[in-house]
Amino acid sequence: MQKFFTLFVRYNSYLLFIVYCCISFLFIKFQDRELLTKLRTNGIEFSAFITDKMMSYNYVLHLKEENDRLMLINTDLLSRVLNTETAALDNRNRQKILADTTLNASKFIMARVVNRKFSDRENMLLINAGRSDGIKKDMTVLTPQGLVGRVTTVSEHFAKVMPVINTDFKVSVVSDKSNSMGLLSWNGGREFIAQIENIPISSSLKLNEQFLTSDFSSFSIRGIPVGKVVSIKPDKLFYTVEIRLAVDFASLTHVLIAPLKIEPEKLEMIGENSSGETFP
Partner 1 sequence: MTKKYPYYISILFIVALVQELGLSHLTFYHVSPDIVTIFLAFISVTIGQKAGTSFGFFAGLLTGILSGNMGLNMLARTVEGFIAGFFNIPEDSHATTKQKSKRLYGAIVTAGFCANAVLVTGYNPLALSPAYRIFVLGFLESLITLILAFIITRLFLKKSLAG
| Contact positions vs partner 1 (CB under 8 A) | 12-13, 16-17, 20-21, 23-29, 31, 36, 39-40, 42-44, 46-47, 50-51, 54
CB of 36 or CB of 193, closer to partner 1: 36
Q: How far is the CB of 6 from partner 1 (least distance, A)?
A: 17
CB of 36 or CB of 267, closer to partner 1: 36
CB of 27 or CB of 118, closer to partner 1: 27
Pairwise CA distance, residues 267 & 50, whole Å: 90
Q: How far is the CB of 49 from partner 1 (least distance, A)?
A: 10
How many degrees, rounded to 5, is the angle at CA 272 between CA 202 and CA 144?
65
Q: How far is the CB of 40 from partner 1 (least distance, A)?
A: 5
Pairwise CA distance, residues 128 & 114, whole Å: 6
CB of 44 or CB of 114, closer to partner 1: 44
Q: How far is the CB of 47 from partner 1 (least distance, A)?
A: 5
Q: How far is the CB of 116 from partner 1 (least distance, A)?
A: 59
List CB contacts of 175: < 8 A, sequence separation 6 or more.
181, 205, 209, 210, 211, 212, 229
CB of 23 or CB of 81, closer to partner 1: 23
Pairwise CA distance, residues 248 & 190, whole Å: 12
Are 161 and 150 in contact by the 8 Å Cβ rule? The answer is yes
